[in-house]
Structure 1
């Protein structure tokens, strides 16, 4: 199994950085994981701005040479792991901009003339590991699960990626946040993950 981690946090000395380390440690100890690659969007100074105009046609977005290296990594991966904070009830704009540019027609999906397109990233699965300041159940009770609906239904399943597993960790800025327990949970999950 090839694992691609897409890390979206401006700081490595953070709880998101700690989760990244546990994911790396767990996958390194997992005999079913062949190789792990990381896309660190902030460190790589990825440009999340989607541009199409007279020179850059929207229908040609999948041919953009600036994103070819990222497309190859997505094609290579069996499992894509997203690590990010939840800000304002959703992933950071950097990650959403990455998805805007990556999930282009004729790379991530193809229109079929029917109600839904054909997802071209079938056969891949995803894990979303996210942190938030508020309680874990805040997105469920106050935002009608908007974060999960966005990532799972509107984005990942739309292009054929499924299943999608979520770890939403709340109270991460609180001393009562049980950080060590949550970090251990992530380590164990990736150490034993099979597909």
Structure 2
């Protein structure tokens, strides 16, 4: 299994970075994982800003040469892992900019003229590891699970990815929180997954 880990946090001293390390360590000890590639969007200086004009058209985004290396990474991966904080009930703008550009028509899906498109990223699975300051149940009760709905239904199902696992950890900024237990949980998961 080839695994692409997309890390989105500007600080390598963050809890998100600690979760990234657990993903890498657990996957490295898992015989089912052939190779792990990490894309740190901030370190890669990924430009999340969409630009469309007379020279750069949205309909051509699927073949933009500046994004070719990122398309190759997504095609290579059997499992895509996203590690990010939840800010204001949703992923960081950097990650949303990556999604806007990478999951483009002609690459991630193809319009068929009906209600739903044909997803072109089938036979892949996704894991989202996210942290937030608020309570763990806040997104469910106050935001109608907006984060999971956005990621699972509006994005992944749309492009043909049906297998999606969430680790959504709340109250992660409390000094007496359960960070160590959550980090261990993620490590164990990635050490034992086989698909």
Normalised to the residue count of structure 1, the TM-score between the two structures is: 0.99
Q: Residue in 2 aligned with 1:82? A: 82
Q: Could you say what secondary structure the match of 1:71 adopts?
A: helix
Deviation at 1:50, TM superposition (A): 1.1
Q: Residue in 2 aligned with 1:30? A: 30
Q: Could you say what secondary structure the match of 1:185 adopts?
A: helix
Aligned ranges for residues 74-153 of structure 1 at < 5 Å?
74-153=74-153
Q: Residue in 2 aligned with 1:63? A: 63
The answer (yes or no) to whether the contact 1:170–1:177 under 8 Å persists in 2 is no
Deviation at 1:158, TM superposition (A): 0.6
Residues paired across the two proteins, number: 195
Q: Could you say what secondary structure the match of 2:157 adopts?
A: helix
Range with greater deviation from structure 2 (57-66 or 27-36) = 57-66
Q: Could you say what secondary structure the match of 2:188 adopts?
A: helix
Q: Which runs of 5+ in 2 are unaligned?
A: none
Give the Cα separation in 2 of the matches to 1:87 and 1:39: 20
Q: Could you say what secondary structure the match of 1:133 adopts?
A: coil
Q: Residue in 2 aligned with 1:189? A: 189
Q: Deviations over 1:95-133 (max 9, x none)?
A: 000000001111000001111000000000000000000
Give the Cα separation in 1 of the matches to 2:146 and 2:184: 27
Give the Cα separation in 1 of the matches to 2:8 and 2:61: 22
Alpha-carbon RMSD? 0.6
Deviation at 1:180, TM superposition (A): 0.6
Give the Cα separation in 2 of the matches to 1:133 and 1:104: 31
Deviation at 1:10, TM superposition (A): 0.3
Q: Which runs of 5+ in 1 are unaligned?
A: none
